[in-house]
C-alpha cells in the first residue's frame, strides 16, 4: 500500500510537507500542493477519507454531532436530515464524543450540523474561522460560515405557562433540563421572566432531560406536598414520562391532582394516559432546515438564521376536576 513516505520519495519533499499538502494546510503553497497531489494520484495513494477528497477536497459527507442518542427525540430529527441530504447527494454520519470533533478541522467531512453542548462557542467560532461549514441547532452564533436553525423556545415556554397560569391559586413546579443545554437555558430564562411578570412563586427542580431525572423530580414533589392539586411544567417530555411512572404508583390522578405540561411532543406522549399536554414542533422539518442550510453554506451562499416554531398540543393532563 502506498504511503506518505512513497510520495515524499517521489517528489523530493519532506514527509511533513507532504502531510501538510494532503491535509490542505496553509503551511504549503498551492504550487507545492499541486505537485504533491499529482504525485499522490499517480501512485494511486488513497487516504482514509477516500481518493476523491484528495482531488477535490470534498467528501460529500456531513457530520451530525449529537450529545447522545438516548430517548425518543432523535429519530425523527435524523430522518429529516438524512432525506434532505440525500436529495443533495450528500451522506450523513452521526457523531458523539469529543474525539469526533477532529473530523471537522481534518476535513474528513464537508460540513457539521451541531446539536451538542460538548462544543463550546469558542471552539465553534475557531472552526468557522478556519473556513469550516457549520450549522448549529443549539445556540445562537453570528459568523459568516455559521448558520443557525433554532427552536422557538420562548414561544413554546410562554404557551405552556399560559395554560398552567389558569390555575394561579395552585403551586407551580418547573422541572428544568441540563445547564449546558441552550434549549433548557432559554426555557428557564423565559419561565423566570414569566413568573416575575405574573408574580408567581415557582418551585424549581433540577433535571437533565432524562426519564430517570423525571422520576427523581416526581419523588421530590411527593415528599414536599401533602395537598393537591398542583401544576407542573416539564422542560421535556422524557422527564414527564418519568413523572407519570412514579405518580402511577400513587392514588394521585394526572389531570385532576397533577396538572402537567411537557415540551417536545415525542411519540410516546400521545400514548400516555391521560394524554400529555405538550409543546410540539416538527423535528422532521427542523432536520430538513438544518440540512438545507449546511448545503447552502457549502455552496458559498450566505448563512442564515431560521427559527422552527412551536404549537400547543392539548391533552387531558390539564383536565379540570369535575
Provide the CATH number for the domain around residue 235.
3.40.50.2300
Strand partners, 172: 231
| Domain extent at residue 169 | 153-280
The total of structural domains in the chain comes to 3
> Do 114 and 31 reside in the same domain of the chain?
no
In this structure, the answer to whether residues 174 and 189 fall within a common structural domain is yes
Three-class DSSP category at 45: coil
Given this model, what pLDDT does residue 3 score?
84
Contacts of 74 (CB under 8 A, 6+ apart): 66
| Same domain for 120 and 44 | no
| Grid coordinates of 291 | 440540512
Question: Is 198 domain-assigned?
Answer: yes
Phi-psi region of 264 (alpha: psi -120 to 50; beta: other; left: phi over 0): left
Q: What angle do CA 150, 154, 155 make, to 5 degrees?
A: 100
Query: What pLDDT sits at residue 54?
Result: 46
Number of Cβ within a 10 Å radius of residue 316: 14
Q: What is the pTM of this model?
A: 0.78
> For strand 203-205 and strand 258-261, is the pairing parallel, antiparallel, or unpaired?
unpaired
Q: How far apart are CA 86 and CA 88, in angstroms?
A: 5
The answer to whether residues 209 and 259 belong to one domain is yes
Question: Do 230 and 295 belong to one domain?
Answer: no
Q: What is the pLDDT of residue 47?
A: 67
pLDDT at 85: 96
pLDDT of residue 67: 86
How far, CA to CA in Å, does 89 sit from each of 38, 136, 144, 240, 297?
26, 21, 24, 39, 15
d(CA 151, CA 210): 19
How many residues are there in the chain?
A: 322
What is the mean pLDDT, run by run of 10 residues, along the chain of 322 residues? Answer: 87 88 83 92 73 60 88 84 95 92 92 94 94 95 94 97 96 96 96 97 96 98 94 97 97 96 93 96 96 95 94 89 48
Torsion over CA: 234, 238, 242, 244 (sign): positive
Residue 252 and residue 222 share a domain: yes
In a domain, 319, yes or no: no
Say if CB 84 and CB 113 are below 8 A apart. Answer: no
Cβ–Cβ < 8 Å for 188, 218: no
CB-CB contact of 293 with 306 (8 Å): yes
So what's the pLDDT on residue 72?
A: 65
Tell me, yes or no, whether 241 lies in a domain: yes
C-alpha torsion angle, residues 101, 106, 107, 109 (rounded to 10): -30
Strands 311-313 and 278-280: antiparallel
E strand or H helix at 199, and its extent?
none
- The gap from C-alpha 210 to its chain's centroid, in whole angstroms, comes to 15
- Which segments within the chain are labelled E, that is strand? 61-66, 91-95, 111-115, 134-136, 146-151, 172-175, 203-205, 230-234, 258-261, 278-280, 305-308, 311-313
Whether residues 157 and 275 fall in one domain: yes
According to the model, what pLDDT value does residue 322 have? 45
Rounded to whole angstroms, how far apart are CA atoms 201 and 225?
Answer: 15
Residue 213 and residue 174 share a domain: yes
Is residue 211 domain-shared with residue 267, that is, in the same domain? yes
Answer yes or no: are the C-beta atoms of 266 and 209 closer than 8 Å.
no
> Are 176 and 135 part of one and the same domain?
no
Amino acid at each position: 500500500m502506498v504511503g506518505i513516505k512513497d510520495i515524499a520519495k517521489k517528489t523530493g519533499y519532506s514527509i511533513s510537507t507532504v502531510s501538510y499538502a494532503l491535509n490542505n494546510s496553509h503551511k504549503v503553497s498551492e504550487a507545492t500542493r499541486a505537485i504533491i497531489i499529482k504525485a499522490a494520484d499517480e501512485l494511486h495513494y488513497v487516504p482514509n477519507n477516500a481518493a476523491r477528497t484528495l482531488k477535490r477536497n470534498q467528501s460529500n459527507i456531513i457530520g451530525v454531532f449529537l450529545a447522545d442518542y438516548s430517548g425518543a427525540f432523535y429519530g425523527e430529527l435524523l430522518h429529516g436530515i438524512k432525506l434532505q441530504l440525500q436529495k443533495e447527494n450528500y451522506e450523513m454520519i452521526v457523531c458523539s464524543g469529543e474525539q469526533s470533533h477532529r473530523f471537522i478541522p481534518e476535513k474528513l467531512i464537508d460540513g457539521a450540523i451541531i446539536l451538542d453542548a460538548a462544543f463550546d462557542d469558542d471552539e465553534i467560532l475557531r472552526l468557522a474561522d478556519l473556513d469550516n461549514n457549520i450549522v448549529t441547532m443549539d445556540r445562537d452564533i453570528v459568523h459568516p460560515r455559521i448558520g443557525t436553525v433554532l427552536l422557538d423556545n420562548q414561544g413554546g415556554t410562554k404557551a405552556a405557562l399560559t395554560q398552567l397560569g389558569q390555575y394561579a391559586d395552585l403551586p407551580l413546579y418547573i422541572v428544568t433540563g441540563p445547564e449546558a443545554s441552550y434549549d433548557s437555558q432559554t426555557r428557564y430564562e423565559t419561565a423566570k421572566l414569566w413568573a416575575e411578570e405574573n408574580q408567581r412563586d415557582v418551585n424549581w427542580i433540577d433535571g437533565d432531560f432524562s426519564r430517570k431525572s423525571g422520576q427523581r423530580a416526581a419523588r421530590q414533589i411527593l415528599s414536599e406536598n401533602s395537598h393537591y392539586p398542583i401544576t407542573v411544567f416539564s422542560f421535556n417530555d422524557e422527564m414527564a414520562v418519568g413523572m407519570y411512572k412514579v405518580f402511577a404508583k400513587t392514588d394521585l390522578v394526572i389531570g385532576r391532582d397533577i396538572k402537567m405540561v411537557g415540551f417536545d411532543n415525542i411519540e410516546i406522549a400521545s400514548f400516555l394516559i391521560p394524554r400529555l399536554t405538550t409543546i410540539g414542533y416538527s423535528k422532521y422539518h427542523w432536520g430538513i432546515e438544518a440540512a438545507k442550510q449546511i448545503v447552502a453554506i457549502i455552496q458559498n451562499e450566505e448563512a442564515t438564521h431560521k427559527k422552527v416554531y412551536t404549537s400547543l398540543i392539548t391533552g387531558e393532563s390539564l383536565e379540570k376536576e369535575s
